[in-house]
Structure 1
């Protein structure tokens, strides 16, 4: 994937958010960690999800609520014109939940999505995954 210089990269799962800025030039991806804003805790995410035997630990609502909080942060970022481009890398379930809450302005700034859980990986590992996408 060709990631523009200055693009933001959000790496998300159901519990963590990491933000990076691409400082690479000429198609090279070089990620610099950014400060992560506070994520407002939500009691639950989207309506209609219930616990089941497939999810006995009841974490679904908390994870969906976290994704909703991340979407709010990213929406505010897009609406305040802090950046032009955004790449979202998220665990598949989290990415689905994020999409439900994106503002149309945020959607217009997306340069791509990678449906993969890369939280906890180094910036170099994330950059390598972007290069392969």
Structure 2
């Protein structure tokens, strides 16, 4: 059975946007229909920081070290990937999909994979480590066919 067979769902995500798609045709000529869209509006890091990173005393006479400031984007992107994993779990629990292809940049894919519930992980038939969230539908279908080796 092809990884993109009829009824297979595809999650195309990055750290800020996720498209939940379903293939309503067959693997040879997939037609991905958007079933759900999730977006997170991330303000620039500079707008999320309250002040300069802190400082702490080091053991030793008069020494102080700087503390790294939080990377708010990275934290928000990880939280977003975790939220997508929760949505997938609820959908899987309802029987929305039996097969799932995950498409995300490598870092997001790793975080998403870490948060997937076993019930969802068992349904993952393929992973593609690429950022395809801004591809138009027909282009996305072509890339998926190429990546999944179904010509």
Match of 2:145 in 1: 131
Say what the alpha-carbon RMSD is for the aligned residues.
Answer: 2.3
* Conservation of the 8 A alpha-carbon contact between 2:11 and 2:103: yes
TM-score of the superposed pair, with normalisation by structure 2: 0.71
Partner Cα separation in structure 1 for residue 68 and residue 133 of structure 2 = 26
Match of 2:99 in 1: 85
TM-score of the superposed pair, with normalisation by structure 1: 0.80
Match of 1:44 in 2: none
User: Do residues 122 (structure 1) and 123 (structure 2) align?
Assistant: no
Partner Cα separation in structure 2 for residue 122 and residue 72 of structure 1 = 26
Following superposition, the deviation at residue 25 of structure 1 comes to 2.0
* Conservation of the 8 A alpha-carbon contact between 1:2 and 1:27: no
Give the number of the structure with larger relative contact order, counting CA–CA contacts within 8 Å between residues 6 or more apart.
Answer: 1
Describe the SS at the equivalent of 1:34.
strand
* Conservation of the 8 A alpha-carbon contact between 2:102 and 2:126: yes
Q: Give the aligned length.
A: 120
* Conservation of the 8 A alpha-carbon contact between 1:10 and 1:87: yes
Q: How has the CA–CA distance of structure 1 residues 3 and 26 changed in structure 2, closer, same or farther, with 3 Å as cutoff?
A: closer
Alignment gaps of 5+ in structure 1: 40-50
Partner Cα separation in structure 2 for residue 52 and residue 67 of structure 1 = 23
Partner Cα separation in structure 1 for residue 68 and residue 106 of structure 2 = 19
Describe the SS at the equivalent of 1:67.
helix
Partner Cα separation in structure 2 for residue 71 and residue 95 of structure 1 = 11
